Structure 1
Amino acid sequence: MIQQSKILERLTPSFRELVEEIIAVNQAWKLAGDMDNNVSAIAYSLADLKNRLQVKLLRSYAPEKVYLQIDSTVSTQMEELYGLILREPIGNYWNAAHLPVRVALELLSPQELEQFTIE
């Protein structure tokens, strides 16, 4: 019989594991989008998974290990994007991909946004 602590351990990935999973899903999402003009069900599903993993990362580790910051280098007039900035890089990664502001407003409470965002 599997112990409850082992189950919880599997359901609660480490900071590094969660960042690596976000990066992998983000890369898969971009590939799926390139294959079908970003309209395939797989691309939408991967984007949704990435966003939900990012929210899990923020709720579990922000603001001590990761925080939100508007990325003015890639935000456009059409859409503002948050970068999930890592306080210490993991390998060559200093962020955990971008999260559209509109999605953050849907998935996070105003209190969470205030707590997780650095200007």
Structure 2
Amino acid sequence: MASFQHIRPRYKLILFYNIKRDKQDQYYRYMLSHFVPDIQKLGVYMHMVWHVAYGDYPMRKIEFVTESAEILRRLFLSDQWDDLESKLQQFVDDYERKVVDYRNGFQL
């Protein structure tokens, strides 16, 4: 399995959301033991996690990177992604996702 250090990122998958106050423990357990490891097995690697402490924005922004649009296409068409995303949404509110061309640093 490749790691982020050994790929040439071309795209970012960015997730924005607020963690539900009463679901924080379950959220962290899910992300660390299922979501992140499972998505990385599919060729999409966690790059950065941002906590937004001020303003009218979702408090969490997570960036994943990958080498190709084909990897993202396969991810989004997979039943596994449907399950991962659906489960994540049980722990968060105001969920959004988007794909952008990779650029180093903070991107919206």
TM-score, scaled relative to structure 2 = 0.30
Answer 1 or 2: which has greater strand percent. Answer: 2
Q: Which has the higher contact order (CA 8 A, sep 6+)?
A: 2
Q: Which has the larger radius of gyration?
A: 1
